[in-house]
Each structure stands twice: as structure tokens, then as C-alpha cells.
Amino acid sequence: MPRSGGIKQFISFCAIGLLNTAVDFVVFVILVWLSVHYAAAQAIAYLAGMVCSYVMNSAFTFRSETDVPRRESLFRKLRFVVWNVLMLGASVGLIAIATDVAGWPQLWSKAGVTGIIVAINFYGSKRWVFRSEKEAVKAA
């Protein structure tokens, strides 16, 4: 599978994204059902999906890069965490707006925000998180 991706890479990323989203939603629903505040529930649920995402995308979507230098691997993990913390902040903020300002039910808010965050997350993951140092130099 070439680094630049293609259809197979996109399908793999999307399939793993569906799994991560399912993990995220299930954890969120359980926590809200247990009366955990939606912001805390979102943080915990997002973390569960994030761990699943990194493990699965590293193993399958971007598996051709399992032999990357240790330094690049460390920077990729750091970029992954930074990017996902940003996505978590955006998702909590947007859920708060949808729930507290717009008055949507928590699960509707979660569903709407998830669609937005998934699109942004794919773009950032593809272009920044999982890019190689060679691609970063080409882009500069």
C-alpha cells in the first residue's frame, strides 16, 4: 500500500473511523446513562476512541510505515496526541453550544458534532499526523 494512500487507504481509514466512532458513542452513551456530565463523558469517550484510532490506523491504514525511524515514530505519536486534544476541545465546545445554547438533547448534539469532527479529523490525520518527514519537507 503506497504512502500517498489511494482508495484502499481511504477505505481503511474510514472503516477504522467507524469503529472508533462506535467505541466513542458507546462509551459516551453509557457514561451519560450513568449521569456523568456530558463534558466529562465526551472526554472519556473521545480518549477511548483515540486509543483505538492510533492502534488500528498504525497497524492497518499506515502499516507500510512500521519501519519508520524511532524519532519519526515519536513525533507522529506526539502529533497524534496534539491533534486529538485539539479535536477533543473542539468537540466538547461544539457539544456545549449545541446542548446549552441551542437546547438540543445531548445525544443529538453528540451526533451532529461527530459528523463535523470526523471530517476535520480525517483531513488533519492524513495531512499532518501520519505524514512522513519526507512529505513534510516536500510541503515546506
Q: What is the pLDDT of residues 107-126, one digit of tens each?
A: 999 899 988 988 898 888 88
Residue 2 lies in a domain: no
Task: Indicate the pTM of the whole model.
Answer: 0.72
How much is the average pLDDT of 31-45? 94
Contact 42, 90 (CB under 8 A): no
Residue 85 lies in a domain: yes
How many separate domains does the chain show?
1
Residue 64 lies in a domain: yes
Q: Provide, rounded to the nearest whole percent, the portion of the chain with pLDDT above 90.
A: 44
Residue 88 lies in a domain: yes
Range of the structural domain that residue 61 is part of:
7-139
pLDDT higher at 47 or 1 = 47
Of 109, 121, 113, 115, residue with least CA distance to 32: 109
Residue 1 lies in a domain: no
Residue 69 lies in a domain: yes
Residue type, 15: A
Residue 124 lies in a domain: yes
